[in-house]
Structure formats: C-alpha cells, structure tokens
C-alpha cells in the first residue's frame, strides 16, 4: 500500500508543478509568447456575402455524395441478401422455409428496383453533381 501511496503523491506533486508552471505567466499578466499578426478583417473572414452560398453548396454536394454512398451500400447488402436466400433455396427447395425465402426474395428485388429509381442533384454556377441509379455519382455541367 505504501508504494501505491508514494506513486500517487509523486504524481500529484508533478501535476501541481506542471500546473503552476503553466499558469505563472497568466498570473503575472505576461504578454503572449507568440505575436498574432494584425490583418484586416476582410483577409481573415473572407467575403462574407458569398460565405452562406459556399456553405449551402458544400452542404448540397456533401448530401449528394452521402446519399450516393448510402444507396451503393444498401444496394450491395440487398444483392448479398438476395444471393444468400437464393442459395439457401437452391440447396433446400423443399424446406419449410422455402415460402419465406421466396417472399423475402420478392420483397428485396422490389426494394432493389427502387434503388434504381433514386436521383438527387445539386447545381451552382453551371457546375453540378448528381447521384443516379444505384448510387452512381457524376460531376459536370448542369
């Protein structure tokens, strides 16, 4: 127990020394060690009038890309699940689960067909991005 207590005391002392060293300049109202260059606000903030449009464009492009990614992923997993059910059905066509497999395959094929009808696009200043069927992404002119 003494070894653990000693390690705790040494750690607490090191923490106290480190904290006092970090806070000493603040307590003495010392100037910062790094000087920040003074620049006009326009150089720091950029063109504020265009900033909301840039943010909206970034959000739209990101949304299109995420939608395409999720659609590609969902299409992949739907295809994988259909293949699994078809393989189970081919191995055991007389199984008591065969009607379930058939119904589930039909449902998943309907869902996969819906992925082929998805479309999302964003356009700005003649430049556009679109997510098409099954998550394909195209960039180019609008």
Domain assignment present for 43: no
**Domain total for the chain?**
1
For strands 120-124 and 137-141, give the pairing. Answer: unpaired
What's the pLDDT tens digit per position in 115-128? 888 888 888 888 88
Does 16 fall in a domain?
A: no
Question: Is 30 a residue whose pLDDT tops 90?
Answer: no
- Assigned domain for 24 exists: no
Whether residue 11 is contained in a domain is answered as no
Q: Which of 118, 122, 120, 112 lies closest to 133, judged by CA? A: 118
Q: Quick one: pLDDT at residue 125?
A: 81
């Amino acid at each position: 127990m003494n070894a653990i207590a000693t390690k705790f005391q040494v750690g607490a002392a090191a923490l106290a020394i480190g904290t006092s060293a970090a806070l000493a300049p603040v307590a003495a109202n010392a100037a910062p060690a790094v000087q920040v260059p003074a620049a006009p606000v326009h150089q720091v903030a950029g063109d504020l009038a265009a900033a909301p449009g840039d943010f909206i464009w970034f959000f739209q492009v990101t949304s299109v890309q995420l939608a395409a990614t999720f659609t590609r992923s969902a299409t992949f997993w739907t295809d994988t699940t259909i293949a699994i059910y078809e393989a189970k059905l081919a191995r055991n066509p007389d199984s008591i689960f065969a009607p379930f497999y058939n119904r589930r395959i039909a449902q998943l094929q309907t869902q996969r067909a819906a992925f082929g009808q998805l479309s999302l696009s964003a356009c700005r200043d003649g430049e556009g991005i679109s997510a098409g069927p099954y998550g394909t992404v195209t960039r180019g002119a609008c």
